[in-house]
Structure 1
Amino acid sequence: MPKTPLRPSPPPLEANDVAIVGGGTVLWFVAFLVLLPFHNSLQRSGHGNWPWICLAGGCLGLIGLWYCRARRDAIRRSREAADTTEPPATRLD
């Protein structure tokens, strides 16, 4: 069976990680606020930890948001440093 030649990997897709993580974090906090008034009925049915799980998800989302912003800024600084150290292109006319 002949092997198919390997193709080069495509460049990675750019996504707005800060917006994605920020949206998820907001959803965790909204879920916490929605479940909080029902804490007693959730407690009686054995699901009293759900609001606290949502609160923990929101807090972890804040950590993720900090990480994504730091990563985005580091990538931006790296690209700017690479652009300034590249010599100008010379024309071969």
Structure 2
Amino acid sequence: MTRSRRPDPPPMRTNDVRVALAGTAAWTVALITLLIIGVPADARWWLWVCGAGIVIGLFGAWYTPRLQSTRARQAADRSARRAER
């Protein structure tokens, strides 16, 4: 006997910019730590990894609000078109 499936819960609202900035801060701390303690010559690529994490995090913090506003605008347009029908 199969039971009826419960409806999916609504998506959780999160502050995605804060998450991106927290990750950026973590990469910044890692970079500063590596610069303070010194890195062997054969492991210098870790500095680039930290730098890339910082750049990607800053881009995410800049891009996320634009992405969310575009998605909200598209959803409003779709619902307006459905209401016209």
TM-score (norm 2): 0.71
What percent of counterpart residues are identical? 35
Bigger helix share:
2
1:43 maps to: 40
Pick the structure with greater CA Rg.
1
| CA positional deviation for 1:75 | 5.0
| CA positional deviation for 1:56 | 0.7
Unaligned runs of 5+ in 1: 86-93
2:54 to 44, 51, 58: 58
- How far apart in 2 are the matches of 1:69 and 1:29? 22
Unaligned runs of 5+ in 2: 81-85
Aligned residue pair count: 79
Residue deviations 1:16-48 (CA, integer Å, cap 9, x gap): 111111111122122112212444xx224x322
- How far apart in 1 are the matches of 2:37 and 2:48? 12
- Greater RCO between the two (CA within 8 Å, min separation 6)? 2
- How far apart in 2 are the matches of 1:4 and 1:71? 38
